[in-house]
Structure 1
Amino acid sequence: MRRFTDFVATLVVAILLQLASLYTASAHADAVHAPVSSAPQDAAKAPIPLRGTLYRVEHNGHTCYLFGTVHVGQAAFYPLEPIVMRALHASNTLAMEIDIRDENAFNQAIIKHGLYTDGTTIADHLTTDRLAKLKAALQQNGIPFERVARMKPWMIANLLIVQTMARNGYPTEQGLELYFLSVATKEGKIVRGLETPDYQLSLFNRLDDMQQQEYLEETLQDLNDGSEITQAIELIDAWRHADSAKMLALKQRMLNDGSASSQFIEDILLNQRNPGLADRIAMLLNDDKTSFVAVGMLHLIDGENSIPALLQKRGYQVRKLY
């Protein structure tokens, strides 16, 4: 399975930020209320490269900018290129997949979808071999078993991926969502969530118990052999160089491997979500004169079910700026 690639491309922002706040040294609240560290002084003097992908959507005199993000980051990503920052500064509203400030909604969604509430623990749901592998991975990441005992397999798997990405230089607290939120807060912009934490976390909970166990086992295997981290970094590298052709190729490779995981990602995390995201972006265009929308880059990558394509089908004027 291309577990790391799946994670960087489509993993729910709520999981990333909430779990990072629980298990990393940086607190979620600190990350939200303080801007992400900018690049060093010398780097700031160099030409700033294009990153991700940027679209402009227009309808009835209103404008919406769509920017494709990755949900992890590093200080070297900043400052962002002037065309993106001009679009953000000019916008009245910032919209992201979810409003990451709503900690109560996060907590309720995690209890509802990510934890066992029937008195059982993860040890009751795994084979002896899988449980041994899990405990070894937790020990390697410095996570006490007791802290995750009530978590469901899909949630533990994603927590381990978050930790692995952070150890490899891509922590969630340097992610684009937190950076954009810090700018929006400073400039007094309206901040909106296109989806809710409850909806996003419910998507993973659609996996039945056996599928969740397999998801965890595949993740542990990928973490152990280390091969998938290369693919994750490859995807991030394509984003940081605004290499649309490479991003599309990686997306196609990820979704065409014939696995049940890839089918779930394509059908549920992308194809099912994109129409709803497009609906809410259309509402923004009706309500706000100028808005800036930051969503995971694979939602914007070329394809008939991408968000730009769906908006264009509705008669909106869509232009890819890069």
Structure 2
Amino acid sequence: MRILRALVAPLRLLSRGTDRPAPQRLLARLTRQAFAAVGGCFIAVAAHAAACPPSAIASLEKPGIGLRNGIDRGLLWRIERDGRTSWLYGTLHLGRGEWVRPGPTVQKALAQSDTLALELDSRDDATVRALSQPADPAAVARVLSGERARRLERQNAEACVSPGSTARLPPILQVTALTALAARADGLYAEFGVDETLAVSARNSNKPIVALENAADQLRWLTGGSEAEEAEQIDAMLDELESGRLRGQLKTLADVWARSDAARLARYAEWCECLNTPAEQRLMKRLLDDRNPGLADGIERLHAGGRSAFAAVGALHMVGAQGLPTLMAARGFRVTPVLTEAQAQQALPMPALAAPEPPARKAVRGGKNVKGQKAAKGTGQKVAAKGGAKPASKAAAAPKGKAAPRAAPKAANSKVRR
């Protein structure tokens, strides 16, 4: 259950809007931290600061992390209907610094699309408002009480989160923030999540972004149907954090995704340790089976409306009998795998910029390079043209005071321009 959120539930949902009232902006950043382990002003440097992983930006300064060529990662399908092409791209909501630049196949597919479709648009005002609403304090107190609250406090300290900084969030989001923070030790950050980097690319190219879902629904899917179920999920996540198993699961997950290993991802139940309890199984149904038809509806609407959509959603939405490729095929789309085979990945450093080419040699010797000017008489210069070259006409070099026939320069110029 813990690692599912890295594939099926966005971990970074809100922007850093500076035009909002201070209290709302504060809570928006706290909520963003819960989904994305973001908000440097809320992550304190505790007494054990030496053990705290670096921030996302600081991680880029590590040796070996630099500007690199993008290589193809993740899962990609081409879907075609009605003479148009759209795309399905399975993402990871965490990422490494060297993954920020998409690979050439992904870049080309995104460039050929006119719309980027995401689960949520983190810059959308409605999304910000929905996630800026504080949780009911009484409900938080009921779920996070006694030993459960003390366990959460200890994990916050281990993750270098300042006391009380996430207290107004729904309990499930407070713990979800910790699952994302745990991945920092292995270089995985929500700030580098694939959805976020695609959104930046789309905005830079003025490509519209469409949300396939809304934040209120996603919160309901995450929290479950009752406080008892939410508490059960929180206990399971705290168990994983305290045992250290979560880090290994996230590393495995990132490797499977980065190698485009669709076959192993489809067998996630064998290795994810995420379907062991009835609560985890119910969560899986809510996060996948209950959502996939709605995602498919949104993608089909965009395509039927004349859009060529690049639909980027969590990778687990792509596998199995209820996965989006299967659902889109059932709706009459021709579905073709593009990136689904396990492959070795190596991000190579960007090559040095090529030296500028030397300026072209002037076409005229011994004088100013005036447009239409002819070579001086006696140089033997020839004018290149299709079908061969002919000597310049003597009339073109007539002595001063004698007008050259107009036809000769015109013919010579036509050869140069041809």
TM-score by length of 2: 0.66
Alignment of 1:1-322 (within 5 A): 2-3=1-2, 5-13=3-11, 18-20=31-33, 23-25=38-40, 40-41=66-67, 43-44=68-69, 49-111=71-133, 115-116=135-136, 119-120=137-138, 122-251=140-269, 253-254=271-272, 257-301=275-319, 303-322=320-339
CA contact (8 A) 2:37 2:181 kept: no
Shift of 1:252: 5.2
Q: What CA distance in whole angstroms lies between the structure 2 residues aligned with 1:104 and 1:225? A: 38
- In structure 2, stretches of 5+ residues that fail to align are 16-30, 43-59, 340-418
CA contact (8 A) 2:100 2:194 kept: no
Query: Which residue is equivalent to 1:31?
Result: none
Secondary structure at the aligned position of 1:134 is classed as: helix
Structure with the higher fraction of residues in helix conformation? 1
CA contact (8 A) 1:106 1:198 kept: no
Structure 1 residues 26 and 76 mapped into 2: Cα distance closer, same or farther (>3 Å)?
Answer: farther
Shift of 1:193: 0.6
Q: Counterpart amino acid of 2:40?
A: A
Following TM superposition, the consecutive aligned residue runs of length 4 or more in structure 1 with deviations greater than 6 angstroms are none
Q: What CA distance in whole angstroms lies between the structure 2 residues aligned with 1:127 and 1:106? A: 28
| 1:23-72 deviations in Å (ceiling 9; x for gaps) | 43299xxxxxxxx99x734x43xxx5431111011110111111110001
Structure 1 residues 164 and 87 mapped into 2: Cα distance closer, same or farther (>3 Å)?
Answer: same
Shift of 1:274: 0.4
CA contact (8 A) 1:14 1:98 kept: no
Shift of 1:253: 4.4
| 1:105-159 deviations in Å (ceiling 9; x for gaps) | 2332452xx711xx42634433422122111112222323322333332111111
Q: Counterpart amino acid of 1:287?
A: G
| 1:57-89 deviations in Å (ceiling 9; x for gaps) | 111011111111000111121432211100111
Q: What CA distance in whole angstroms lies between the structure 2 residues aligned with 1:184 and 1:263? A: 35
Q: What CA distance in whole angstroms lies between the structure 1 residues aligned with 2:273 and 2:293? A: 19
Q: What CA distance in whole angstroms lies between the structure 1 residues aligned with 2:328 and 2:37? A: 37
| Structure 1 range deviating more: 253-262 or 176-185 | 253-262
TM-score by length of 1: 0.85
CA contact (8 A) 2:153 2:163 kept: yes
Shift of 1:98: 0.9
Secondary structure at the aligned position of 1:136 is classed as: helix
- In structure 1, stretches of 5+ residues that fail to align are 28-35
Structure 1 residues 123 and 23 mapped into 2: Cα distance closer, same or farther (>3 Å)?
Answer: farther
CA contact (8 A) 1:51 1:242 kept: yes
Structure 1 residues 187 and 194 mapped into 2: Cα distance closer, same or farther (>3 Å)?
Answer: same
Q: What CA distance in whole angstroms lies between the structure 2 residues aligned with 1:19 and 1:254? A: 26
Provide the aligned C-alpha RMSD in A.
Answer: 2.7
Count of residue correspondences: 303
CA contact (8 A) 1:97 1:195 kept: yes
Q: What CA distance in whole angstroms lies between the structure 1 residues aligned with 2:128 and 2:12? A: 7
Query: Which residue is equivalent to 2:357?
Result: none
Q: Counterpart amino acid of 1:76?
A: E
Structure 1 residues 135 and 166 mapped into 2: Cα distance closer, same or farther (>3 Å)?
Answer: same
Q: What CA distance in whole angstroms lies between the structure 2 residues aligned with 1:295 and 1:271? A: 14
Q: What CA distance in whole angstroms lies between the structure 2 residues aligned with 1:180 and 1:140? A: 31
- State, as a whole percentage, how many aligned pairs show the same letter: 25
Structure 1 residues 257 and 104 mapped into 2: Cα distance closer, same or farther (>3 Å)?
Answer: closer
Shift of 1:221: 1.6
Bigger RCO of structures 1 and 2 (CA < 8 A, at least 6 apart) = 1
CA contact (8 A) 2:167 2:174 kept: no
Secondary structure at the aligned position of 1:64 is classed as: strand
